[in-house]
Structure 1
Amino acid sequence: MLIAGGREPGPRPRVAILSHEALRSAVRLTSYSAGLQVLLRLLTFLLNAYTLRYVSKEIIGVVNVRLTLLYSTVLFLSREAFRKACLNVGAEQKWAQFINLLWLTVPLGVFWTLLLGRIWLRLVTVPDPALIPHYEVGVVAFGLSAVVELLSEPLWILAQVHMLVKLKVFAESLAMVAKCVLTVVCIRIVPHWGLYIFSLAQLLYSSCILAYYVLYFVKFIGSLEAQRKSFPLSTVSDLMPKYLHHQPVFDPRLATLTRTFCKQSFLKQVLTEGERYVMTFLNILSFGDQGVYDIVNNLGSLVARFVFLPIEESFYIFFVKVLERGKDIGHQKQEDVSLAATVLEMLVKLVLLIGLTITVFGYSYSQLALDIYGGSVLSSGPGPTLLRCYCVYVLLLAVNGVTECFTFAAMSKEEVDRYNSTMLALSLTFLGLSYCLTWWQGGVGFILANCLNMGLRIAHSLQYISHYFKLSKNWPLVGLQLPGPLLLVYLGSAIVTAFSQATLSEQGLMALLVHVLLGAVCLIIVLVTIFITEPKLVQFVRTQFLSQDKKET
């Protein structure tokens, strides 16, 4: 069986063609999403570097931790379950029921905004108005921006289901550029506005996303492109919720699956943003320390956002389209199973190598990166230690993203329900560890707790994958095995760069340049070794990612 780039003799079955088309669409979506993440994170990266020079660490801590947490929590709890449940639909779907279900995200968002907004205003420590004024306005603005963005959620899911992969890229890129421009202009002209600036910028971001999606679908529906893509809606009014006579308002199967994922959403959000909840509700770090931690966290997660998140989101769609949820592999099309196993093996190996490279080189170059980015404010305190620990976390984050992506795509409803109990135990354990380890080690304690939590989640996913493929000739977990020569090269690179960092990094400009040059040489040796020892992975990346532009018509 060929993944891409070759031809099999004779005509292929229609199902096989659809599976390979799903793979090509997933890879295209990954490429576009990765490009989007690069742009968004680069803009955020530059914006944080700029605001560090004009805004206090305390305001950055309130915005990037406290208010952004409110915004992301409302969005996650309101839409994540719908995204997980509703992306796996076919042509036989009753689209009116589907649209009705999707619009539930908006009232759900209003509910969470009112509830969490009250908590953020009444039950957590409110910043000193003399130091950080207009906190209440910030809470209202960030909550309102989440509701505005949820108005575009039905359109987002429709775009993903029908592989309108460029829409998300353009919408979020435009919104982020507008947000950054407004923030920079206001900081230069009216820096004393404080939280007003970030509140207006966040509202502009959500409004731009909504406006772009609405304008796109108004133009798209009924067009020749929509007909070519077999888009099921023929008028703009079909996008609105409606009462249905003599049939359920919602698709019963999707509604049940959505409720199941709803139970999981809060637990996953706690695991994803646990350290911010601990900071917000237990107040164990000052707002200034929270600001430094968040900046280091953003810097450390650049590659995770650039590469790992787009892969996880895009290939989740691929796996749910290729595999039948809840069925063992003996009752599925074996070509699809083999394709899914091969792709999973390659993805696991790809993210493992990326994560390992970040861990090895991140230790020796964390202090230099922070000094370039934020000056002595970041590089002279706990920042370098935080970033070094975060590099280890990135390795675990990489493996967990891909393995969990497959696990959630293959699980039956009953298995998801059982996993909810596991997630509850993990959530409570993680919160307890975060609290204890942070009192012991400060911000580093958050990262250690995240590492332990991620390790447990990886263990669960690996156990599920192993059980799923136990009766198959395919064994995708072989992707976790690396050849001996490659491991030796990684070890040598770690030793050389660590020694270079200890002896050269603080000996002047020329010594620093030698330190950087040694790292570049070691990185080249690592890449060459990967190219030699992993030809199957190189071929996968070349055919599935690097040649996508040539495949598009």
Structure 2
Amino acid sequence: MRAREALTSAATLASYSAGLQVLFRVLTFILNGYTLRYVSKETIGVVNVRLMLLYSTVVFLAREAFRKACLNVGVERKWSQIINLLWLTVPLGVFWALLMVWVWLNLVAIPDPAVIPHYEVGVVAFGFSAVVELLAEPMWVLAQVHMLVSVKVIAESLAMAVKCVLTVVCITLVPHWGLYVFSLAQLLYSFTLLVCYLLYFMKFIGSREAQRKSFPLTSLTDLLPKPLPRQHVIDLQLAKLTWTFYKQSLLKQILTEGERYVMTFLNVLNFGEQGIYDIVNNLGSLVARFLFLPIEESFYIFFANVLERGKDPRHQREEDVRLAALVLKMLLKMVFLIGMTISVFGYSYSQLALDIYGGSWLSSGPGPGLLRCYCVYVLLLAVNGVTECFTFAAMSNQEVSRYNFVMLALSLSFLGLSYCLTWWQGGIGFILANCMNMGLRITHSLWYISRYFRSTEHRPLSGLQLATPLLLVYLTSGVVTVISQAALCCDQGLFFRSLHVLFGAICLLAVVVAIVSTEPKLVQFIRAHFLSRDKTEIMKWE
């Protein structure tokens, strides 16, 4: 029953996260498209590549390891020790912020002040915003562990919407402010996020819902760090696990943001080319942010709660292992089909999407080729997210430590590939390097999962196998849309564009019908866990 409750909570968190992310980010997406018409591609390159890299580096290195360790604790642990541990993210963030600001101001190329003014202010503002966001970390972890579904999504989406609205208003009214606009918007984002969490917990702590969930805090001051008489100030076991993950997070950050580090430190692309690459990257990763990331975060918690870390499945409860294998199989099938659909249709509709979003300057250059390659990368992202969320939840501490060496090799190879392929193919080289790197990570995770379930009758990796009729529908849809794109898009007027869209819609409908016909168990899984709030239907699903 504990495993099924964890599955219910994980599915609820994932579906709510994805739904609300879409609702709020659609507004963000539209406002960003508006901004593109008022801001130069060089400014976009500096903000979205250079400054956002500084921000993401500080945030990731300060909190990622703590999240990985503390999301696996369960609600019955001593939360006073865990909260003390989580507050270490703030001084750690201050350290990384000071270091990164110094590096960004002294060791990388400074943009021409005549083209990009106020660069120094932007660097300091983005570093400070990262530290502000870390103040909410104990509340974020508490909300995740206790399945407080709404706070995370509402806080992050509202903060993003406020940031974009402010950016658009300022860009329209005072465009000469330059990086001041983006710096102010980023600071407002972090403060909005922090305030949302504070207001939520002020209302939640002591409420009936908190009592029903056995929430461990009784007042808002319990969120603050404090000495603990006659016991360790922090949970030492979690601290050791955090250190293990921390060594890994340094390498994972290189893998996650490697192309931006190469752009920033090696100058293989100018700021304008970086701006176009970032726009395509953001457009191509929409589905990853909307669907794959919420699924990965939520079901990591599910697997971590259901399975005992580092323990052979033969020595765990058979029901828990069977349920974990079945859920993993369904998740792999689901994200693989989403990724396949994006890859097949993305090739023929990339140019049209960029033309609608950013205008001819975005759709006539290297943008369409970049987005087509990125659509293939999305398929690999989908599979890697699910396989790694299971792998990291099931690995022992020793296996996580050994995997650090794998991450080191992947990081070095990725940086080398990025540099070489970018000189050869420009921005596309970054995506090709990401695809190769992601393929290696998937291979390792598939090997681990296969070995993990080898002694059991469960074969969750069969979720990556598709029925022959479905593959034929995908192939036919790809051929039809490619012909449609060549004949009807994108310089022949609105009528021909509409016909191109119509052909795509018909092919997409055929794909959906084929999926429903060939994958009834997957349809039942999605309906039970993502679309239905009927707990009876969820519990009886198998």
TM-score relative to the length of structure 1:
0.95
Query: 2:128 matched to which residue of 1?
Result: 144
SS of the residue corresponding to residue 132 of structure 1 reads coil
1:471 to 422, 437, 455: 455
Query: 2:530 matched to which residue of 1?
Result: 545
Q: 8 Å contact 1:43–1:176 — kept in the other structure?
A: no
Query: 2:342 matched to which residue of 1?
Result: 358
Matched, 1:344 2:328: yes
Q: How far did residue 513 of structure 1 move?
A: 2.0
1:445 to 411, 429, 432: 429
Query: 2:190 matched to which residue of 1?
Result: 206
Q: 8 Å contact 2:28–2:161 — kept in the other structure?
A: no
Amino acid of the structure 2 residue aligned with 1:532:
S
Q: 8 Å contact 1:41–1:305 — kept in the other structure?
A: no
What is the CA deviation profile of residues 215-267 of structure 1, one whole-angstrom value per residue up to 9, with x for unaligned ones? 22122222222111101111222211111222211111100000000001111
Q: How far did residue 54 of structure 1 move?
A: 0.9
Q: How far did residue 549 of structure 1 move?
A: 7.0
SS of the residue corresponding to residue 55 of structure 1 reads coil
Query: 2:516 matched to which residue of 1?
Result: 531
How many Å separate the matches in 2 of 1:124 and 1:40? Answer: 35
Query: 1:257 matched to which residue of 2?
Result: 241
Q: Compared with structure 1, are the counterparts of its residues 39 and 76 closer, same or farther at alpha carbon in structure 2 (3 Å cutoff)? A: farther
Task: Please provide the CA RMSD for this pair.
Answer: 1.4
Q: 8 Å contact 2:308–2:394 — kept in the other structure?
A: yes
Query: 2:69 matched to which residue of 1?
Result: 85
Q: 8 Å contact 1:86–1:254 — kept in the other structure?
A: yes
Aligned positions of 1:130-209 closer than 5 A? 130-209=114-193
Aligned positions of 1:103-142 closer than 5 A? 103-142=87-126
Q: 8 Å contact 2:33–2:357 — kept in the other structure?
A: yes
| Identity of matched residues, % | 75
What is the CA deviation profile of residues 341-367 of structure 1, one whole-angstrom value per residue up to 9, with x for unaligned ones? 000000000000000000000001111
Structure 1 residue runs of 4 or more that deviate by more than 4 Å after TM superposition: 549-552
Q: How far did residue 121 of structure 1 move?
A: 0.7
Q: 8 Å contact 1:96–1:238 — kept in the other structure?
A: yes
How many Å separate the matches in 2 of 1:125 and 1:36? Answer: 39
Q: How far did residue 470 of structure 1 move?
A: 0.2
Q: How far did residue 495 of structure 1 move?
A: 0.9
How many Å separate the matches in 2 of 1:273 and 1:176? Answer: 20
How many Å separate the matches in 2 of 1:494 and 1:216? Answer: 47
Q: Compared with structure 1, are the counterparts of its residues 60 and 549 closer, same or farther at alpha carbon in structure 2 (3 Å cutoff)? A: farther
Matched, 1:310 2:299: no
Aligned positions of 1:403-422 closer than 5 A? 403-422=387-406
How many Å separate the matches in 1 of 2:536 and 2:181? Answer: 44
Query: 2:540 matched to which residue of 1?
Result: none
Query: 2:500 matched to which residue of 1?
Result: 515
SS of the residue corresponding to residue 113 of structure 2 reads coil
Aligned positions of 1:216-365 closer than 5 A? 216-365=200-349
SS of the residue corresponding to residue 214 of structure 2 reads coil
Higher mean alpha-carbon deviation, 408-417 vs 225-234, is at: 225-234
Q: Compared with structure 1, are the counterparts of its residues 59 and 244 closer, same or farther at alpha carbon in structure 2 (3 Å cutoff)? A: same
How many Å separate the matches in 2 of 1:551 and 1:113? Answer: 49
Q: 8 Å contact 1:71–1:142 — kept in the other structure?
A: yes
Q: 8 Å contact 2:299–2:389 — kept in the other structure?
A: yes
SS of the residue corresponding to residue 548 of structure 1 reads coil
Query: 2:38 matched to which residue of 1?
Result: 54
Query: 1:7 matched to which residue of 2?
Result: none
Query: 2:368 matched to which residue of 1?
Result: 384
Query: 2:420 matched to which residue of 1?
Result: 436
Higher mean alpha-carbon deviation, 30-39 vs 316-325, is at: 30-39
Amino acid of the structure 2 residue aligned with 1:217:
F
Q: How far did residue 18 of structure 1 move?
A: 1.6
Q: 8 Å contact 2:21–2:157 — kept in the other structure?
A: no
How many Å separate the matches in 1 of 2:36 and 2:161? Answer: 19
SS of the residue corresponding to residue 125 of structure 1 reads coil
Higher mean alpha-carbon deviation, 398-407 vs 225-234, is at: 225-234
Amino acid of the structure 1 residue aligned with 2:366:
P
How many Å separate the matches in 1 of 2:377 and 2:161? Answer: 29
2:488 to 483, 486, 504: 504
Q: How far did residue 499 of structure 1 move?
A: 1.2
Query: 2:355 matched to which residue of 1?
Result: 371
How many Å separate the matches in 1 of 2:75 and 2:283? Answer: 42
Amino acid of the structure 2 residue aligned with 1:210:
L
Amino acid of the structure 2 residue aligned with 1:512:
R
Query: 2:11 matched to which residue of 1?
Result: 27
Q: How far did residue 44 of structure 1 move?
A: 3.3
How many Å separate the matches in 2 of 1:488 and 1:297? Answer: 29
Q: 8 Å contact 2:25–2:161 — kept in the other structure?
A: no
Query: Number of matched residues?
Result: 537
How many Å separate the matches in 1 of 2:160 and 2:261? Answer: 25
Query: For structure 1, which runs of at least 5 residues remain unmatched after alignment?
Result: 1-16
How many Å separate the matches in 1 of 2:534 and 2:280? Answer: 34
Amino acid of the structure 1 residue aligned with 2:295:
I
SS of the residue corresponding to residue 466 of structure 2 reads coil
Q: How far did residue 31 of structure 1 move?
A: 1.1
How many Å separate the matches in 2 of 1:515 and 1:532? Answer: 26
Higher mean alpha-carbon deviation, 505-514 vs 154-163, is at: 505-514
Q: 8 Å contact 2:325–2:459 — kept in the other structure?
A: yes
Amino acid of the structure 2 residue aligned with 1:24:
T
Amino acid of the structure 2 residue aligned with 1:310:
P
Q: 8 Å contact 1:41–1:302 — kept in the other structure?
A: no
Q: How far did residue 40 of structure 1 move?
A: 4.7
How many Å separate the matches in 2 of 1:544 and 1:429? Answer: 39
Amino acid of the structure 2 residue aligned with 1:139:
V
How many Å separate the matches in 2 of 1:318 and 1:56? Answer: 44
Q: How far did residue 369 of structure 1 move?
A: 0.6
How many Å separate the matches in 2 of 1:518 and 1:181? Answer: 35
Matched, 1:43 2:27: yes
SS of the residue corresponding to residue 371 of structure 1 reads helix
Q: Compared with structure 1, are the counterparts of its residues 178 and 347 closer, same or farther at alpha carbon in structure 2 (3 Å cutoff)? A: same
Query: For structure 2, which runs of at least 5 residues remain unmatched after alignment?
Result: 538-542
SS of the residue corresponding to residue 273 of structure 1 reads helix
How many Å separate the matches in 1 of 2:75 and 2:177? Answer: 51
SS of the residue corresponding to residue 117 of structure 2 reads coil
Q: How far did residue 302 of structure 1 move?
A: 1.0
SS of the residue corresponding to residue 189 of structure 2 reads helix
How many Å separate the matches in 1 of 2:22 and 2:104? Answer: 31
Q: How far did residue 91 of structure 1 move?
A: 4.1
What is the CA deviation profile of residues 205-224 of structure 1, one whole-angstrom value per residue up to 9, with x for unaligned ones? 10011111112212222222
Q: 8 Å contact 1:48–1:295 — kept in the other structure?
A: no
What is the CA deviation profile of residues 478-509 of structure 1, one whole-angstrom value per residue up to 9, with x for unaligned ones? 00110001001111111111111112214443
Amino acid of the structure 2 residue aligned with 1:405:
C
Amino acid of the structure 1 residue aligned with 2:527:
R
